[in-house]
């Protein structure tokens, strides 16, 4: 993966609470609150549900039109602005394993032209498995 678009666990942990770096959780509400670990499964065993501290919920499904394509650019721009995201910030997207986060990266970087967007490649599968890291529910 290109290092200029990749965010690692260490980078994410270091940037927690920095207002110029925003965390965008593109999973479902059930995953964000910890009710589900995967889109279709509750946490099992040692798996922890929840989200990264300070992350803003922005389900990737909210960017889709009824036919499965992305919404018009003006609608997407308004949607992200309504959740407090702007091109001036560095945004780190994450999901469960990186697939949905990569879609959000594509929307932000190529459809909206945000210059500083990264994907947390470990996403929740990594963060939720670590001990000693903060988790919100």
3-class SS at 89?
coil
Spatial CA neighbour of 28 closest among 57, 63, 66, 65: 57
Rounded Cα–Cα distance for residues 77 and 63 (Å): 10
Verify whether residue 51 is a known catalytic residue: no
3-class SS at 94?
strand
CA distances 85 to 67, 77, 78, 127, 130, Å, are: 25, 9, 10, 23, 27
In sequence order, what are the beta bridge partners of 94? 25
Q: Which residue among the candidates 52, 92, 95, 107 is catalytic per the annotation?
A: 95
Q: What is the rounded end-to-end Cα distance, in angstroms, of the chain?
A: 30
Tokens of 85: 């995201």
The catalytic site residues sit at 95
């Amino acid at each position: 993966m290109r290092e200029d678009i990749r965010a690692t666990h260490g980078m994410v942990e270091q940037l927690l609470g920095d207002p110029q770096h925003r965390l965008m959780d593109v999973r479902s509400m059930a995953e964000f609150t910890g009710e589900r670990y995967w889109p279709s499964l509750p946490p099992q065993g040692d798996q922890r549900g929840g989200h990264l501290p300070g992350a803003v919920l922005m389900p990737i499904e909210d960017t889709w039109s009824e036919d499965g394509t992305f919404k018009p650019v003006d609608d997407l721009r308004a949607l992200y602005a309504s959740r407090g995201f702007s091109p001036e910030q560095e945004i780190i997207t994450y999901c469960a394993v990186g697939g949905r986060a990569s879609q959000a990266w594509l929307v932000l970087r190529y459809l909206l032209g945000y210059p500083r967007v990264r994907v947390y490649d470990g996403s929740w599968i990594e963060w939720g498995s670590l001990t000693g890291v903060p988790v919100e529910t």
